[in-house]
Amino acid sequence: MVDPQPMTGRVAFVTGAARGIGRAIALALAEAGADVAVADVHPARFEGERYYRLRQRVSGPEEDEPTVAVVAARGRRSLEQSVDVADLGSVEAAAARCAAELGPPDVLVNNAGIVNNIAPIAHMGAEDWDREVRVNLSGMFHTVRTVVPAMAERGWGRVVNISSVAALTPGLGQPAYAASKAGVLGFTRAVAQEFGTRGVTANAILPGLIATPLVRSMPAPLRDHYTSRAAVGRLGEPEDIAQLALFLASPAAGYVTGAAIPCDGGLSGAAREGLGGDGDAG
C-alpha cells in the first residue's frame, strides 16, 4: 500500500511559493505530511510587479488565501518569509529562521524565477541580464550553499530545481532566461555529484507552458499558439509540476539524481522534431 503521507516529519523550504508552481508544490508537500517554509520575494498579496507584454494580470487563488494559510489548514506547520534569492544574506537569514521555527530543511525546492526581461541580445541591458541570471541561477547556488551541507551531514536530503523547456528550446527574445535555465541543469548535476554519497539527491524539472497567473495573463492568441504545439493539446497545470516535484522529494526517489525531467505535455519533443519551440516555457 502506498503511504499517503510519505513526507511526514520532513521540513520543506520552497522558494517562489506564494503563487503559481511554487504554491502548488508547497501544498502538495503539505498534503503529503511535510511542514513548509513559504519563501517568496512577494509573500503577501500581489503588488504590481512588472510583467512583459501584459496590460492586465489575471489573479490566482493565492490572492484570496495565502499559501501559508492553506498549508496550515492541512494540519501542517508553516512559515511565511520574504526572501530575495538573489541576495545571499536574505537566503541565509530565512534558512536560519526556518531551522529555528520548523527545523532544518530536509527538502529544498528552488522554484523562484523571473521571466520579465524580453529583448534581443543586442538590445538587452547588462543590468537586466545580470538580474535575471542572478535570480534564476545564482539564487539556486545561494540556497544550496546555505542548506544542503547540513542535509549531507544528517545523511538525507532532496533538492528539486525548477528549470524550463526554454533551457532546451530558447524562446526568441529570452537569452537571459534561456541561459539561466540551461545553467540550472549543469548546476543540478554538480549538486547531485557532490552530495550523492551522503544521501542527498538533486534533480531538475523542465516545465512547459503552465497555467500560472502569468501565463493566463498572456494574450490568448499567443497562448493558444504554443498550447497547440504540445502533444496533449492543453496548458499544464501547476499541480502537474507539483506531483512530479513531490515524487522527487520523497523517499521513493532515492535512486533518482542528476536528472533533467521535462514536464511539458510533449512540447520539447515536438520542438526537436522541427515543430518549433519559440515560446515562453514557464
Task: Classify each residue of 80-92 as buried b or exposed e, where b means 16 or more C-beta atoms within 10 Å of its C-beta.
Answer: bbebbbbbbebbb
Nine-digit cell at 84? 530575495
- Measured CA to CA, the distance from residue 229 to residue 279 in angstroms comes to 10
Q: Which residue has the cell 526581461?
A: 117
Sheet order of strands, 260-263 included: 78-82, 35-40, 11-15, 107-110, 157-162, 200-207, 260-263
Residues 6+ away with beta carbon under 8 Å from 206 = 163, 164, 165, 167, 168, 181, 260, 261, 262, 263, 264, 268, 281
Annotated active-site residue in 51, 52, 177, 226:
177
Q: Catalytic site residue 177? A: yes
Pseudo-torsion of CA 242, 244, 249, 250, nearest 10°? 110
> From its phi and psi, is residue 9 left (phi > 0), alpha (psi between -120 and 50) or beta?
left
Name the residues annotated as catalytic.
Answer: 177
